[in-house]
Structure 1
């Protein structure tokens, strides 16, 4: 597997606080990767840097076979290049149906001709995506009446509909039931057969079920990397992350 995303020596400070400190990180295609770490470790800033929401002070972020420098692209250009992001709180169009949400997200040329002629194909594709995220029976329902877990799945479906090469998924298991977490695990594992999928998560049991390579961030640096058992046995990880209770969620991760 070749690297799809290559982060090299990236640093980012906010008002003197170094949120990312000389971080180097790579993701292959396809691959499933989990990122864990204490609050303030830099996980959200990492996602902000990759998606162009913020710019690094130093270092490079290269993407794709042409090694495009993401630091020189806008957020819209990065999204069009095939990088999708799911935030912790679902951001779906609640007054629209599941079908309408998926249809609006579908990757398609935006010429007048394709808009006029693509509906049959659009219906088929929206149905295929709905099946992938377990929402086939809910296509006609308004997104606002879905459960929290179903809204999370819909947003994942909206990302998949855009046909990204890299998906960044922030705490997908937060607020889910046990059954929903299990279904979400299956969904992400299946997606990672075709895409690069990076999951930020606090739920260690959920990360264990993903059964993937894990990167531990601490103070903006990659502290450890490997299987979950490997990183959990690292004394440094135990000291800074596993050795003390974690709060639910992550509200102020710089």
Structure 2
């Protein structure tokens, strides 16, 4: 099976500091991957490069069956290609209901001109209801987003990305600040989503990573230090020295 995303030999420096150093990474079209590593390992910069926020000094980022060069596209074009990113802090419209938030995300898929005259159809309402159910908010459609728990806001933001039908989801520390029950539901959601798309989870919480039960990539000083099952990487002496031993 060919890779959905193929990152080869990327490097980027900020003021002489090499944030990413000859990093290569690939993920298949329906795969769950956890990315771990100490602070400053390059996890956020890696996501910034894939989403077009940061340009690398060298290397390639190829996407999809046609090997589209993402480095030639801007952030909006990359998002339209099907790369969705969820930041650590949920950014939902607190005064809007769950339905309205999801509807806005649906609307974002349309071109700017058609958005001016857009009115949601019955199909749009059905899609919103289906996405809300998928992320565990099927019974919260009429609630204002500001009233939701922290975990529910995180799910709503994942739902807003799903409304845009991404083929790759980049999710930053989804477990942070969640209750145990919310974390378990988030684990189940991410595992389910990875059956139909690629999901990359950047996470510090080892217990959460263990429950994801997926391949793990360890970054250190902007490079891949180790890759494999969680048991494999956590028994690697290099990983223990730079990350787990602290």
1:112 to 1:231, Cα distance in 2 relative to 1, 3 A: closer
Are residue 203 (structure 1) and residue 205 (structure 2) matched? yes
Q: CA deviation at 1:109?
A: 3.9
Are residue 68 (structure 1) and residue 68 (structure 2) matched? yes
In structure 2, the partner of 1:248 is: none
In structure 1, the partner of 2:55 is: 55
Match of 1:179 among 175, 181, 206: 181
Match of 1:129 among 111, 119, 131: 131
Matched residues in 2 for 1:198 and 1:64: separation? 16
In structure 2, the partner of 1:79 is: 79
In structure 1, the partner of 2:144 is: 142
Matched residues in 2 for 1:136 and 1:205: separation? 28
TM-score by length of 2: 0.96
Q: Secondary structure at the match of 2:40?
A: coil
In structure 1, the partner of 2:97 is: 97
Match of 1:115 among 111, 118, 121: 118
- CA deviation map 1:185-207 (0-9, x unaligned): 00000000001000000010000
- CA deviation map 1:4-53 (0-9, x unaligned): 00000000000000000000100111100000000000000000000000
In structure 2, the partner of 1:9 is: 9
Q: 1:143-162 maps to which residues of 2 (within 5 A)? A: 143-162=145-164
Matched residues in 2 for 1:235 and 1:185: separation? 28
Q: Secondary structure at the match of 2:118?
A: helix
Matched residues in 1 for 2:140 and 2:19: separation? 41
Q: Secondary structure at the match of 2:54?
A: coil
Q: CA deviation at 1:239?
A: 0.3
Q: CA deviation at 1:85?
A: 0.2
In structure 1, the partner of 2:22 is: 22
Q: Secondary structure at the match of 2:139?
A: helix
Q: Which moved more, 1:214-223 or 1:61-70?
A: 61-70
Question: Any unmatched runs of 5+ in structure 2?
Answer: none
TM-score by length of 1: 0.93
1:135 to 1:35, Cα distance in 2 relative to 1, 3 A: same
Matched residues in 2 for 1:171 and 1:119: separation? 34
Q: CA deviation at 1:209?
A: 0.5
Q: Secondary structure at the match of 1:56?
A: coil
